[in-house]
Amino acid sequence: MPLPKISTPTYELELPSTGKKIKYRPFLVREEKILIIAMESEDDKQITGAVKEVISNCILTRGVKIEQLSTFDIEYLFLNIRGKSVGEEVEVLVTCPDDGTTQVPTSINLDEIKVQTAKNHSRDIKLDNDLILRMKYPSMEEFIKNNFSVEEINLENTFDLISSCIEQVYSEEESWSASDCTKKELREFLEQLSSKQFKEIETFFETMPKLSHVVKVKNPNTGVENEIVLEGLNAFFG
């Protein structure tokens, strides 16, 4: 007689970028194994395939294309999937900023972690009196690079990231879509920007929506109460 099938619970969440509700399930042991084997291989191609496979398997709502989701959508989704798999409470070590060395174990409820957006964030960057650069958010590939890849970040990677996040350049009279441009053309466009204009692009990435949660811990050595902001997926599972 074959062993019985174990039912898997399903959950629902809203994607931060659109508010669209999607259903998902936790990781299964075989999927955790896929991730672990891929990570141990230290092969970026294998890691990318594993992460895509696992997340795709866990999304139960039809028509969701994970390659088109923003990094913060995927981070939020991955956090919830893994949270339902390992438990709602996780313990992380946080370093007290008052002395910069003392680490305190802190319990965090994953359900309390949300995606936060800075007030000064905008996708539109004013380049001059006429031209505006509209950015789009990094997607699945960048999520994997930020959280799983062993590849080092360098200047070339940075320019590739920025180029991939250009949606269009427009003025009142004209519009140029990045999808109609080559990688070389986008790179040359970025290289002609001034330092001030390039800084505005950096601000877009620094202020874009991200997982964020505030914890309060008391330094046992100094007695000082610290308020610490944890940001990004690695802060909760790193």
For residue 73, being part of any structural domain is answered with: yes
Place of tokens 């960057």: 125
For residue 98, being part of any structural domain is answered with: yes
The closest alpha carbon to 134, from 144, 145, 125, belongs to 125
For residue 4, being part of any structural domain is answered with: no
Residues 15 and 51 in one domain: yes
**Per the structure, how many domains does the chain have?**
2
SS3 81: helix
> pLDDT value at position 8?
85
End-to-end CA distance of the chain: 42
Domain limits for position 30: 11-114+210-237
For residue 180, being part of any structural domain is answered with: yes
Strands, sheet with 166-170, edge to edge from the N-terminal-most edge strand: 124-126, 132-135, 166-170, 175-177
**Stretches in the chain below the pLDDT threshold 50:** none
C-alpha to C-alpha distance for 51 and 29, rounded to whole angstroms: 14
Measured at the CA of 149, the angle between CA 100 and CA 85, to 5 degrees, comes to 80
> pLDDT value at position 151?
60
For residue 5, being part of any structural domain is answered with: no
What region does 158 belong to: left with phi over 0, alpha with psi -120 to 50, or beta?
alpha
Residues 107 and 144 in one domain: no
- pTM comes to 0.81
